[in-house]
């Protein structure tokens, strides 16, 4: 393997390791959020329902 190929290989391995750490941090934050507030799914569903209702109302209003 050439020196450039080796450097690229090492860099790619470091990138994969960094991505793994980022995924673990995000997963840990999600778990902590669920433990701290177990009703987060209900709140999310309500927020999406309200946003969709507002969207449908905006579509149904006629500007003519």
Task: Domain ranges for the chain, please list them.
Answer: 3-60
Structure confidence at residue 38 (pLDDT): 80
Structure confidence at residue 20 (pLDDT): 85
The helix (run of H) or strand (run of E) holding residue 19 is helix 3-36
Nearest to 44 by CA among 56, 30, 58, 28: 30
More confident residue, 15 or 23: 23
Q: pLDDT tens digit string along 21-44?
A: 899 999 999 889 888 888 888 888
Q: Could you tell me the pTM of the whole model?
A: 0.46
Structure confidence at residue 8 (pLDDT): 57
């Amino acid at each position: 393997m050439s020196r450039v190929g080796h450097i690229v290989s090492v860099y790619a391995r470091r990138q994969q390791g960094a991505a793994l750490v980022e995924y673990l941090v995000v997963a840990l934050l999600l778990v902590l959020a669920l433990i701290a507030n177990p009703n987060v799914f209900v709140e999310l569903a309500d927020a999406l329902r309200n946003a969709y209702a507002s969207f449908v109302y905006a579509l149904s209003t006629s500007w003519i």
